[in-house]
Amino acid sequence: MLVRLIEFFGVIIVKPVEGVGRALLLLGSVLKNIFKPPFDIRNIFGQMLEIGVNSLPVVLITAIFTGMVLALQSFTGFKRFGAEGLVGSVVALSMTRELGPVLSALIVTGRAGAAMAAELGTMRVTEQIDALETLATNPVKYLVVPRFLSGTIMLPALAVVTDIVGIIGGYLVTVVWLGASSKAYMRATWDFLKTDDIYSGLIKSCFFGAAFTLISCYKGFYAKGGAEGVGQATTGAVVFSSMTILISDYFLSAWLFK
């Protein structure tokens, strides 16, 4: 009984640690291969298109409604102590520092991260990754590097779009719907917003992009056991990426905004 219990905890502790270790090894291999020619420009552009451009519609809709609800909530709340004038600042700061990077990262994880894990997982269980190796092609360089690069490049771009569209959403609700002054809203937006807010948001985005692509590719790359394994890899990719994004968000914020 005691032994069983110890073994049980052993498994609980070793499994995630082993996973983290292997994911870090994959990261090492990615970093080693990023600067090694030949560079797969076409492949990287394809992935950038997939991650960035194809995620745009969902990101836009999420961003505008987030900005809108943020404005609506803070407007009605702030009205109680006569601080409606600060709505623009609240929207701008929350979007650039927090919501822009995190929301875009979570959405792209659900779309592109899941797709990556499923695609690489299928390639693994149908021996396509082995086939790449037999054709003298490093599968990390061919499959993981382009995804990793595109994620790290495209997430900050999507975060900027989210920031801007969210602020526009806030403007629509505050000015057009609730009838506040347009000039006051714009001033509140710019007055308190520092370039540091935007930069630190973008640094977070880069990190999220690197993290979700690495985790999703890792899950797919080491998928096992047929269709079921691919399903598990996909679920795992989304769950672990989302958790990593949310947890690291706290620590990155604590570090960047101290």
Enumerate binding residues for another protein (CB under 8 A). Answer: 119, 122-123, 126-128, 130-138
Query: In a 3-state reduction of DSSP, which class is residue 204?
Result: helix
Cα R_g (the chain), whole angstroms: 21
Q: Residue 59, exposed/middle/buried by CB under 10 A (0-12, 13-18, 19+)?
A: buried
Give me the least distance between CB of 231 and another protein, in Å please.
18
CA distance 28 to 23: 9
How big is the chain, counted in residues? 258
Distance CA 146, CA 9 (A): 37
Residue with smaller CB distance to another protein, 43 or 253: 43
Q: Is 153 helix (H, G, I), strand (E, B) or coil?
A: helix
Q: Between residues 142 and 192, which has the closer beta carbon with respect to another protein? A: 142
Q: Closest separation between CB of residue 130 and another protein, Å?
A: 5
The least CB distance from residue 124 to another protein, in Å, is 11
CA distances from residue 41 to 85, 105, 142, 205 in whole angstroms, order as listed: 48, 24, 11, 22
Cβ-based nearer residue to another protein, 122 or 162:
122
Nearest approach in angstroms of CB 25 to another protein is: 15
Nearer to another protein, 7 or 130 (CB): 130
Residue 133: CB minimum distance to another protein, A: 6
Nearer to another protein, 77 or 226 (CB): 226
Would you state the torsion angle of the CA atoms of residues 137, 143, 149, 153, taken in this order, to the nearest 10 degrees? 140
Closer residue to another protein (CB): 61 or 227: 227
Dist. CA 105–CA 62, nearest whole Å: 12
Report CA torsion sign: 74, 78, 84, 86. negative
- What's the min distance (Å) between Cβ of 116 and another protein? 13
